[in-house]
Chains A and B, each alone.
Chain A
Amino acid sequence: MSSNTLAKAAPSAAGPPATTTGETQPRIVRRPRTGQWLAAAVVLALLAIAANSVIRNKAFQWDVVADYFTSASILRGLGLTLWLTALVMALGFALGTLLAVMRLSANPVLRTVSWGYVWLFRSMPILVQLLFWFNIGALYPHILGVRTVDLFGPVTVAVIGLTLHEAAYAAEVVRGGILSVDRGQIEAAQALGLGRIRRWRRIILPQAMRSILPPAGNMLIGTLKGTSIVSVIAVQDLLYSAQLVYHRTYQVIPLLLVATVWYVVVTSLLSVGQFYVERHYARGSERTR
């Protein structure tokens, strides 16, 4: 190719466009996105096949799902799952915050005890812990003159076990949040003469919340579903209530679907709630205004 032909092919070359002299600007033509269209078509086709099989396959028994979805025993189970989740989150984060503050204190004994707690309770599977508390009577048959088995019913064991487990993780989440607050914030508060409690409540924790909330939202949703593990000690939560029904009727799949759909519904509501709580604590930050 000679340099002469190159110059004649000017409109398609890498030089400046030829038509800039007049009023009209050159129009931008989008490169065809063939690959994107193809990928979307394949994914949609796979989805359609999956949806078709779920709707057409009679074994899903969606009519049975509908029948049991709002039955009294399922709703009672859902209720227990909800308050157990709320209680475990509240107690777990209260204890976790205490542990995080201990871990960051100047006192080496408090620091070590907090570290040891997190080490121990993160090491122990929650299932093992629940079974352990369930059988605590073997270690201490009587506590303060009362028979231990009377004190530690299945629900009490569930609350204790889940809370102690939750607190270990919450401690790390809260500690991460506190560490994310700029050291200068604490110094400014000290320089202004703000007392220790005021510094924590008004300056440090509200700012730490921004880093705490996303993992805490994860933990909340994890706990909601994680409470289903208490079915092994016969606590009648959402999953165990569904299991009680299918042990009687053998409609295993539809009742597991009942539980699943409820978990999805509650998780969705919690995600929406998380959005608004995060927005509240993001006030004053440039990225979200």
Chain B
Amino acid sequence: MSTPMVDVKAVHKSFGTLEVLRGIDLEVRAGEVTVVLGPSGSGKSTLLRTINHLEKVDSGWISVDGALVGYRSSGDKLYELREREVLKQRTQIGFVFQNFNLFPHLTVLENIAEAPLSALGRPRKETLDNARRLLDRVGLADKADAYPKQLSGGQQQRVAIARALALEPKLLLFDEPTSALDPELVGEVLDVIKDLALQGTTMIVVTHEIGFAREVADTVVFMDEGRIVEQGAPGDVLDAPRHERTKAFLSKVL
């Protein structure tokens, strides 16, 4: 088989004395949707954040589309990349936050256009046209000139997705994209993510939405206490879990 889009090898990460990731191995193939489930504190958000180098790993390595994230390997050593090179890598990895993190002082359109203009140096006209197309795609064409605080949580998260898409990333990472939303707004955000999945976008989604995992995921990964407990097709992991931890977790959330 070809090289995976995301390759995580033996990744460890501690915050002080707390070991959050205890040897993670994970492969994600291009065009696939991987959903990561697990109780809070299991390390799933930290894993996601190491993939675009928002957190540095303590040991192990991660590659995206064949390129090491945050390091350059030479002989048996990994050398830290300069910040500029890390930033360049990040433009190829879209990240959607739990709390949206839209820039409140910029309009919706400016939020989406900011990175293509300043990080990629794209021409202004083309970027703004593209930003409007993306807004249309997430169903918010009429909100271009609104400020984020004037939108509902669901709308803000859809803008955040459009903002991540504006860089045309190879990979999209979602960190509990619906956890901060009122229940009636969850559906509209999941619909946008499903739509992206249907178009073959490679994604890793950390979520508590089991129904979404069942419907959209190619692979479901269950994490607990910094380790991947089991992974496989949603039908296997969700309906016939082999580990007690997975069974216990699913019985609580289903």
Contact = CB atoms under 8 A, between A and B. Distances in A.
Nearest to B118: A198
B88 A193 contact: yes
A109 to B, nearest CB: 19
A190 B114 CA distance: 12
Given A188-B101, A188-B103, A202-B114, A193 B149 contact: no
Contacts of B120: 193
Contact of B105 (A189, A192, A198, A284): A284
Contact residue range for chain A? 20 to 34
Nearest to A284: B147
B231 interface: no
Nearest to A209: B105
Interface in B155-207: 163-164, 167
A158 B147 CA distance: 44
Interface stretch (B29-37, B65-73, B89-97, B127-135): B89-97
A217 to B, nearest CB: 19
A286 B90 contact: no
Interface string A162-190: 00000000000000000000101101111
Given A187-B54, A190-B87, A193-B90, A284 B106 contact: yes
B18 to A, nearest CB: 19
B59 interface: no
Contacts of B118: 194-195, 198, 202
A283 B119 CA distance: 24
A56 interface: no
Interface string A127-164: 00000000000000000000000000000000000000
Contacts of A284: 104-107, 147-149
Contacts of A185: 101, 103
B164 to A, nearest CB: 8
B87 A194 contact: yes
A223 B118 CA distance: 38
A110 interface: no
B85 to A, nearest CB: 11
Nearest to B173: A191
Nearest to B95: A191
Interface in A252-289: 281, 283-286, 289
Interface string B106-120: 110000001100111
A129 to B, nearest CB: 37
A203 interface: yes
Contacts of A194: 87, 114-115, 118-119
Interface of A: 182, 184-185, 187-196, 198, 202-203, 206-207, 281, 283-286, 289
Interface of B: 52, 54, 83-84, 87-88, 90-91, 93, 95, 97, 99, 101-107, 114-115, 118-120, 147-150, 163-164, 167
Given A191-B54, A193-B120, A286-B150, 10 more contacts: A185-B101, A191-B97, A192-B119, A193-B115, A194-B114, A195-B118, A196-B83, A202-B114, A207-B103, A285-B105
22 contacts: A182-B101, A184-B101, A185-B101, A187-B54, A188-B95, A188-B103, A189-B103, A190-B54, A191-B97, A192-B114, A193-B87, A193-B90, A193-B119, A193-B167, A195-B119, A203-B103, A281-B105, A284-B104, A284-B105, A284-B147, A284-B149, A285-B149
